Amino acid sequence: MATLYTTLGAYSRDELGVVLPHEHIFTDLGPMEEENWKDAEAAPVTEQVAPMIERAKDAGITALVECTPEGVGRRVDIVQAVSEATEFPVVVATGVYQEPSIPDWVREASEDELYEWMVEELTEGVDETGVKAAWIKVSTDDDDLTGLSEDEAKILRAAARAGAETGAVIGSHTLHADVVHQQLDLIEDAGYTAEQFIWIHSQAEAVEDHEAVAERGAWIEYDWIGGDDQDDDRYVDLLQHMLELGYEDQLLLSQDRGWYDPSQPEGGDFKEYTYLVEEFLPKLREAGLDEATIEQLTRDNPFDVYAR
């Protein structure tokens, strides 16, 4: 039986409802060299984020996936504190962010060392928290259309090996479809499978690219719903198109919302987690999607992709 590892332990499918597959609780987007995340404390983060978690629970959300990897201030201990204070399960990741935010220790590490580190976090837990990472988060440079840097490729090869060892899915922040295909080629060459890859932020490219990546077996994630563009009609159209093509079991919906940023005064402006449930799902219903499909998109698919 598949298990979803969270900050509150392991969950089975029947213990969870709506799961948000791409959100954030704590992320440092300030200058990397300032390392504001290192000195952050759990109490002010919990004070800011806990009311937002409670709002999400009231809206029917039962868990979320925290997508912050190494390189942008990952603090699983703080995420765990928020989770325990709200009795709300959170899924965390191992892995590393993109150029130029790759930490020095990752650049200096060998592929074997990164593979061993990821496997340890997936099977034993992250640092001293005891929380097992459920998945592997990687990324590629937003401004580089040509492909992976040497370090990004090294990280992805290690991720593919760790995924093959543990069954963990790999999710990648990648804004360019051509680079996604390079990533899929690399993980297949390393012995893993496209079916265990999530194209994060796929909405940044055209629907024809979504089709091509889905045809290879990968997951397509639309995760800026409720974002600055507020273009809900486009997301409805994308979903209807991909559903008509039969990709209902490869689609994920989320918002990329939150989060407490220690580089900003009082953590910055926090965006609540409820837009998808309260605003977007009613639009899907108005467009004719039935409840079984909505449940698959918001409950079954997120569990299936992150559980192992």
Report the distance separating Cα 90 and Cα 25, nearest Å: 9
Query: Each residue of 197-251: pLDDT tens digit?
Result: 999 999 999 999 999 999 999 999 999 999 877 699 999 999 999 999 999 999 9
Distance CA 165, CA 176 (A): 28
Report whether 199 contacts 218 (CB < 8 A).
yes
pTM given for the model: 0.97
Query: Tokens standing for 290?
Result: 């039935």
pLDDT digits (tens, 9 = 90+) for 103-129: 999 999 999 999 999 999 999 999 999
pLDDT of residue 144: 86
Which amino acid, 293?
T
Greater pLDDT, 34 or 243: 243
Residues 6 or more apart from 154 whose CB is under 8 A from it?
Answer: 111, 114
Give me the pLDDT at residue 203, please.
96
CA dist 19 → 15, 256, 261, 268, 299 (Å): 11, 13, 23, 25, 6
Percent of the chain with pLDDT over 90: 95
- Arithmetic mean of pLDDT, 22-42: 94
Q: For 49-67, how does the pLDDT look when each residue is reduced to its tens digit (9 = 90+)?
A: 999 999 999 999 999 999 9
- Side chain identity, residue 188: E
